[in-house]
């Protein structure tokens, strides 16, 4: 029996030596694929957001503008705290209207909430970027409307909407937003 045990141990050692580099190579390839796909759609700069996407083709025509499906998402999964966003866009004029509302129905909890919207073209290039970091107080609702312009809005294919609880407080991700704005091509 000792001979069989050493043969099996030798087999395991040999297989580990063969398979470990293959597993590492596969993991690296997979992670590069995920990083490339995230960076190709405008979201790579933004860390730890819960994202949803809207295809521009799903936006409904209404007069000269398109009304996109609403975004409705919790910023804290265990609490009654909501981010709502309504978007209209007019590709001909390059105008995008965005209405953002935070609703905090929790009596005891308040948070800084980061909300980010990225409009991209088919190549994943950012056309419009929106970012707000608001303090959502207990039992309160806040709403504000924004207007953005891009000469290339007609080439938009996707809107990415993300939110997160900004645990670092006021100003979190403002530097990311400034960097994204500096790279925008309108």
Residues 26, 55 within the same domain: no
Q: What is the pTM of this model?
A: 0.75
Higher-pLDDT residue of 37, 159:
159
pLDDT bucket at 90, cuts 50 / 70 / 90:
very high
Average pLDDT, the chain: 84
- The domain tally of the chain equals 2
The conformation of residue 170, written as its DSSP 8-state character, comes to: T
pLDDT bucket at 25, cuts 50 / 70 / 90:
very low
Q: Tens digit of pLDDT for each residue in 136-155?
A: 999 999 999 999 999 999 99
Residues 71, 129 within the same domain: yes
Query: Of 79, 83, 59, 89, which Cα lies nearest the Cα of 71?
Result: 83
Residues 107, 27 within the same domain: no
User: Containing domain of residue 4, as a range?
Assistant: 1-39
Residues 13, 91 within the same domain: no
Query: Of 86, 152, 92, which Cα lies nearest the Cα of 119?
Result: 152
Assess whether pLDDT exceeds 80 at residue 84.
yes
Which residues, 6+ apart, have CB-to-CB distance to 49 below 8 Å? Answer: 43, 114, 116, 162, 163, 164
pLDDT bucket at 51, cuts 50 / 70 / 90:
very high
Residues 82, 67 within the same domain: yes
Section 123-136 average pLDDT: 94
Section 128-139 average pLDDT: 94
């Amino acid at each position: 029996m000792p001979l069989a045990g050493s043969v099996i141990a030798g087999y395991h050692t040999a297989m580990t030596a063969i398979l470990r580099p293959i597993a590492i190579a596969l993991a690296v390839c997979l992670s590069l694929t995920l990083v490339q796909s995230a960076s190709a759609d405008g979201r790579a700069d933004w860390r730890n957001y819960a994202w949803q996407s809207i295809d521009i083709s799903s936006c409904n025509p209404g007069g000269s503008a398109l009304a996109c499906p609403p975004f409705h998402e919790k910023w804290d999964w265990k609490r009654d705290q909501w981010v709502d966003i309504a978007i209209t866009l007019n590709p001909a004029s390059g105008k995008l209207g965005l209405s953002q509302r935070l609703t905090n129905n929790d009596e005891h909890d308040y948070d800084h909430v980061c909300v980010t919207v990225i409009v991209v073209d088919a190549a994943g290039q950012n056309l419009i970027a929106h970012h707000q970091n608001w303090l959502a107080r207990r039992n309160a609702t806040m709403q504000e409307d924004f207007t953005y312009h891009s000469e290339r809005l007609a080439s938009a294919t996707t809107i990415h909407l993300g939110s997160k609880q900004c645990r670092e407080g006021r100003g979190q991700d403002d530097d990311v937003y400034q960097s994204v704005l500096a790279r925008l091509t309108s």
